[in-house]
Structure formats: structure tokens, C-alpha cells
């Protein structure tokens, strides 16, 4: 049985309570007086054109309380930041086993740090993790991948995954936080204060909901306690809207640098939006956590008398939690167009949505949008029917799939794997 869940409500309520009870209560952002002279917007060197969708989603009045010219400039910068980082922000589907044979899955967001394939996320989401799949929702040209847990740093609550080498642009983590909106009771210069407007990106988005949200950074919390863990500091950010996401998000500044990772999801009950700020790990904490994970892994490898090695993609994260299963390597949905089914002369079929990297399906030549109509000559009328075939098969079995691609029927032979 597979079910979907999100972060635990008690932890969300504690996070929300911490944010509400913060000692630093700076005033909400207000429209600043117009400076006499303004710098003209300058596009970042080499910056890709901004998708219209990002600008549309960020076209909100609250909390971007700036006068017309500055509002357009800040929104444009935030949209450019979202475009720059979009491909590095990924969706994680994490499976856990509860009880005898019962597995549930939930979604979170992660950030691909480098071309070596390190992915960072909130460490507590990886507790008792089994299979972990990584989807590039903001970069559909990239195939999904299997991930392996490299480690979790208990002090910072930073978790690191490995997905293998990947071609993505370099990522910049902010070395320091923006200046507080009020210093010793004196508000910052308006042009400095507006740097606290940020954009939050999420790895998952469904339907017509957005994968980005405008936000405002408040003064951070010092030495807060969340659960049984004490942090030296946590960011607080107010979001203007709630994107569809089952996990935290990535907070970026106007220059495209990452400033933090949300500790809680804004889309579940108990997580405030547009009111009480959400809590997030600062980028400086993330950097310390990643370094600690790699140092611990290197030390463990050295003590075992072996050189440190990056875990193989898809290797079991916690083998005793979830046993490997027969794996074909693509995701699909039922074909519901009756006229097309009649044209194909079948009563049912499935449509391939995505094909995993380094999978049996990819090796056999399966492509997204292929219509699968038969398994070893037996008609496949639904995804459930294919799952039934998989359950009765074993890794190493050869399977012939009949597919329709661009109205041409063809047969593909693949060898099933294990994951």
C-alpha cells in the first residue's frame, strides 16, 4: 500500500509558535519614500531570458510594497533569480516503511549544489528513508533520477543525497544574510531594505499552482529550539502565496544566491502564509552541514581502510527498511481518450510520462509520450495492470513491450532491474 503524507503537524505547530513568539518584532514592510536618484536595472551577465510565468506568479502587491518603478525592478530581479536557480531546485519523493509491508511516500524539495550531484535537503525528512526519487520539475528536459543518502548532520539538520554527475549551472550560497530591516531602532535606507524581498522556489508544483512565491525576510531568530535540536539562528520569511508543495522550499535573493531552506511546508495545515513567518535554515548553516556530512563520510571510509567513494545511484539508503523491488524505470498514467483508444483498436493503454536516468526503460529506448499497449503480447489496459505484471516478475526477466509512437506501432525488449 502506498499513501502520501506531509511533515508532521505537531512539528509544524511548534515551528509556527516559535515564529510568532520571536522577540524581534520589526515592523512590516512599508512603501519607502522615493529616493531622488535611482540606479537603472542591470541584467546579470549571461543571465537567461526570464520565463513569463515567473513574472506572472510574482506580480503581487503584497508584500511588495514599493512604488511603481522600484516594484517592477525588484520583481524583475526576483523573476530572474527564479529562472537562474529553477533547474537546481528539485522535487524529492521519499518512501518510508511503517508496520508490516506498508509503505508511504511524501514529497519534499531539494537543491542540487554542484555538478558532482550533491543534493541538499532538510535532514529530518530522510529519517528511515528507503527509495528516494529526484524529479526536475523546473527543468523538464532532465530525466528523473534515483538518489542515495550520503548522510545527515544532526547538529544542523542538513541532509545530503547523491544523484551522480549532472550538467547544471554552478550554484551560489549566500555568505551572509541581508542586513536587518531595523538597526538599533533606525530603519535601513529604502534601497538597502528592499534587498530583503526574496523569492521561494519549490521542487513540486501541481495543476495551475505556482512553483514560486514572493517573500519578505524578517530579522532572524537567535538560538531557537525546534524539537530536540537547538540552532544558532533560523531565518524567518513571510510568503505572499502558497505554492503546491509537500515539503520545504529554497529561498533566493535578488542576485540569484541561495539564502536558506524552509524547515516547513507552506501548503499544509498549521503552516502560515501571508501572516506569521515561516522558519528556514540559513545558507551558512547549510554549508556547515554539507561539510560535516562529507567529513563524517570520509572519516568512516578511512577508519574502514577504504577510500571514500560516492554511493552508486539508487543504492539502498536503508536496506532493512524497504526491500528492493522489480523496477522498469518509467512513470505512466492511464490513457483516457476513448477515440484514440478506438483508433488503436485496444480497450485500454498507458502513456509514459517520464523515463528515469540509468534505467531498464531508457536502455531499451522507451521515450516519454510512448503509448504502451501490451506486455509480452498481453494487452495492458491500465497502470494497475502493469504493476501487476511487475509484481509477478523478477529482476533480470526479459519483457517485450508493444508501444505506439507517433502513430507507429513497434516492439521494445528490455531487461527488468531492481530498486
Beta strands in 240-277 (DSSP E): 250-252, 258-262
Residue 33 lies in a domain: no
Residue 38: CA count within 13 A, CB half-sphere = 16
- Bridge partners of 238, per DSSP, are 216
Q: Are strands 371-375 and 378-379 parallel, antiparallel or unpaired?
A: antiparallel
What is the overall mean pLDDT for the chain?
78
Decide if pLDDT at 88 tops 90: yes
Domain boundary residue, one of 323, 353, 380? 323
| % of the chain beyond a pLDDT of 70 | 70
Q: Are residues 4 and 80 in the same domain?
A: yes
Q: What is the pLDDT of residue 292?
A: 97
CA distance 177 to 126: 27
Residue 309 lies in a domain: yes
Decide if pLDDT at 396 tops 90: yes
Q: Are residues 272 and 126 in the same domain?
A: yes
Decide if pLDDT at 398 tops 70: yes
Decide if pLDDT at 1 tops 50: no
CA distance 226 to 8: 13
Decide if pLDDT at 401 tops 60: yes
Q: Are residues 228 and 338 in the same domain?
A: no
Residue 44 lies in a domain: no
Nearest alpha-carbon partner for 92 in 199, 7, 184, 200: 7
What is the three-state SS of 114-140?
Answer: CCCCEEEEEHHHHCCEEEEEEECCCCC
**SS3 category, 123:** helix
Q: What is the pLDDT of residue 8?
A: 35
CATH code for the domain of 230 = 2.40.10.120
Q: What is the pTM of this model?
A: 0.80
Residue 197 burial by Cβ neighbours in a 10 Å radius (0-12, 13-18, 19+): buried
Residue 396: CA count within 13 A, CB half-sphere = 1
Nearest alpha-carbon partner for 198 in 91, 337, 81, 353: 81
CA distance 297 to 274: 40
CA distance 282 to 219: 12
Quickly list DSSP for 313-373. TT--SSTTTS---EE--EEEEE---HHHHHHHT-S--EEEEEE-TT-HHHHHT--TT-EEE
Domain boundary residue, one of 323, 358, 376? 323
Cα-to-chain-centroid distance, residue 60: 23
Q: Are residues 339 and 259 in the same domain?
A: no
Cβ–Cβ under 8 Å, residues 47 and 81: no
Q: Are residues 156 and 210 in the same domain?
A: yes
Q: What is the pLDDT of residue 142?
A: 94
Cis peptide, bond prior to residue 63, ω within 30 of zero: yes
Q: Are residues 301 and 360 in the same domain?
A: no
Kindly list the distances between the CA atom of residue 77 and the CA atoms of 97, 113, 242, in Å, as whole numbers in the listed order: 43, 22, 20
Q: Are residues 340 and 315 in the same domain?
A: no
Decide if pLDDT at 173 tops 60: yes
Helical spans, DSSP H, in 86-121: none
101-105, 163-167, 282-286: which range is least confident on average?
Answer: 101-105
Q: What is the pLDDT of residue 295?
A: 96
pLDDT digits (tens, 9 = 90+) for 288-313: 999 999 999 999 888 876 544 555 55
Q: Report the number of distinct structural domains present in the chain.
A: 2
CATH code for the domain of 379 = 2.30.42.10
**Mean pLDDT score, 271-285:** 76
Residue 39 lies in a domain: no
Q: Are residues 343 and 311 in the same domain?
A: no
**Domain extent at residue 362:** 326-418
Q: Which residues of 86-120 are buried (b: 16+ CB within 10 A; e: fewer)?
A: bbbbbbbbbbbbeeeeebebbbbbbbbbeeebbbb
Cα-to-chain-centroid distance, residue 229: 23
| % of the chain beyond a pLDDT of 90 | 47
Cell 514560486 belongs to which residue?
212
pLDDT digits (tens, 9 = 90+) for 14-48: 444 544 444 344 444 443 333 333 333 333 333 33
Rg of the chain in Å (alpha carbons): 23
Mean pLDDT is highest, among 50-64, 214-228, 404-418, for 404-418
Nearest alpha-carbon partner for 35 in 82, 67, 73: 67
Q: Are residues 318 and 402 in the same domain?
A: no
Q: Are residues 311 and 402 in the same domain?
A: no
Q: What is the pLDDT of residue 39?
A: 36
Q: Are residues 218 and 332 in the same domain?
A: no
Q: What is the pLDDT of residue 195?
A: 82
Quickly list DSSP for 309-328. -PPPTT--SSTTTS---EE-
Q: Are strands 102-112 and 2-5 parallel, antiparallel or unpaired?
A: parallel
Q: What is the pLDDT of residue 60?
A: 45
Cβ–Cβ under 8 Å, residues 289 and 158: yes
Decide if pLDDT at 340 tops 80: yes
Nearest alpha-carbon partner for 248 in 371, 407, 125, 341: 125
- Comparing 111 with 190, which gets the higher pLDDT? 111
C-alpha cell at 262: 524552509
Q: Are residues 127 and 276 in the same domain?
A: yes
CA distance 55 to 237: 20
pLDDT digits (tens, 9 = 90+) for 358-380: 999 999 999 999 999 999 999 99
- Comparing 70 with 412, which gets the higher pLDDT? 412
Q: What is the pLDDT of residue 333?
A: 97
DSSP state letter for 238: E
**Mean pLDDT score, 346-350:** 96
Nearest alpha-carbon partner for 121 in 318, 295, 289, 268: 289
Nearest alpha-carbon partner for 174 in 85, 273, 277: 85
Residue 32 lies in a domain: no
Residue 38 lies in a domain: no
Residue 40 lies in a domain: no
Q: What is the pLDDT of residue 140?
A: 84
Q: What is the pLDDT of residue 64?
A: 54
Domain boundary residue, one of 307, 323, 339? 323
Decide if pLDDT at 263 tops 50: yes
Q: What is the pLDDT of residue 137?
A: 85
Residue 347 lies in a domain: yes
What are the phi and psi torsion angles at 13 (to 5°)?
-65, -35
pLDDT digits (tens, 9 = 90+) for 112-145: 999 999 999 999 889 888 899 999 988 889 999 9
**Mean pLDDT score, 71-100:** 86
Amino acid at each position: 500500500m502506498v499513501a502520501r503524507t506531509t511533515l508532521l503537524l505537531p512539528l509544524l505547530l511548534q515551528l509556527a509558535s516559535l515564529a510568532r513568539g520571536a522577540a524581534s518584532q520589526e515592523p512590516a514592510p512599508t512603501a519607502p519614500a522615493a529616493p531622488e536618484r535611482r540606479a537603472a536595472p542591470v541584467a546579470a551577465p549571461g543571465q537567461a531570458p526570464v520565463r513569463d510565468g515567473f513574472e506572472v506568479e510574482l506580480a503581487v502587491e503584497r508584500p511588495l510594497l514599493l512604488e511603481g518603478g522600484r516594484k517592477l525592478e525588484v520583481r524583475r530581479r526576483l523573476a530572474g533569480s527564479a529562472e537562474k536557480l529553477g533547474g537546481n531546485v528539485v522535487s524529492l519523493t521519499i518512501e518510508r516503511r511503517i508496520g508490516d509491508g506498508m509503505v508511504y511516500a511524501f514529497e519534499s524539495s531539494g537543491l542540487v549544489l554542484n555538478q558532482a550531484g550533491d543534493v541538499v535537503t532538510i535532514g529530518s525528512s530522510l529519517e528511515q528513508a528507503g527509495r528516494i526519487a529526484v524529479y526536475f520539475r523546473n527543468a523538464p528536459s532532465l530525466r528523473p533520477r534515483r538518489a542515495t543518502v550520503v548522510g545527515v548532520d544532526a547538529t544542523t539538520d542538513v541532509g545530503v543525497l547523491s544523484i551522480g554527475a549532472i550538467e547544471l549551472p554552478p550554484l551560489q550560497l549566500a555568505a551572509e544574510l541581508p542586513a536587518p530591516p531595523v538597526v538599533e531602532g533606525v530603519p535601513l535606507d529604502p534601497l538597502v531594505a528592499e534587498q530583503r524581498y526574496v523569492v521561494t522556489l519549490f521542487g513540486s508544483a501541481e495543476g495551475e499552482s505556482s512553483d514560486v512565491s514572493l517573500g519578505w525576510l524578517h530579522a532572524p531568530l537567535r538560538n531557537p529550539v525546534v524539537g530536540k535540536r537547538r540552532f544558532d539562528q533560523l531565518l524567518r520569511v513571510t510568503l505572499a502565496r502558497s505554492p503546491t508543495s509537500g515539503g520545504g522550499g529554497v529561498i533566493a535573493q535578488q542576485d540569484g544566491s541561495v539564502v536558506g531552506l524552509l524547515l516547513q511546508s507552506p501548503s499544509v495545515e498549521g503552516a502560515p502564509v501571508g501572516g506569521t513567518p515561516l522558519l528556514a535554515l540559513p545558507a551558512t548553516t547549510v554549508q556547515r552541514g554539507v561539510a560535516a556530512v562529507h567529513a563524517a563520510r570520509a572519516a568512516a571510509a578511512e577508519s574502514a581502510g577504504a577510500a571514500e567513494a560516492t554511493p552508486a545511484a539508487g543504492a539502498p539508503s536503508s536496506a532493512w527498511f524497504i526491500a528492493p523491488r522489480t523496477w522498469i524505470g518509467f512513470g505512466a498514467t492511464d490513457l483516457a481518450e476513448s477515440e484514440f483508444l478506438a483508433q488503436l483498436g485496444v480497450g485500454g493503454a498507458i502513456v509514459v510520462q517520464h523515463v528515469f536516468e540509468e534505467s531498464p526503460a531508457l536502455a531499451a529506448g522507451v521515450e516519454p509520450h510512448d503509448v504502451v499497449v501490451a506486455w509480452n503480447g498481453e494487452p495492458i489496459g491500465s497502470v494497475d495492470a502493469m504493476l501487476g505484471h511487475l509484481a509477478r516478475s523478477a529482476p533480470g526477466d526479459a519483457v517485450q513491450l508493444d508501444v505506439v509512437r507517433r502513430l507507429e506501432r513497434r516492439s521494445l525488449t528490455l531487461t527488468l532491474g531492481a530498486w
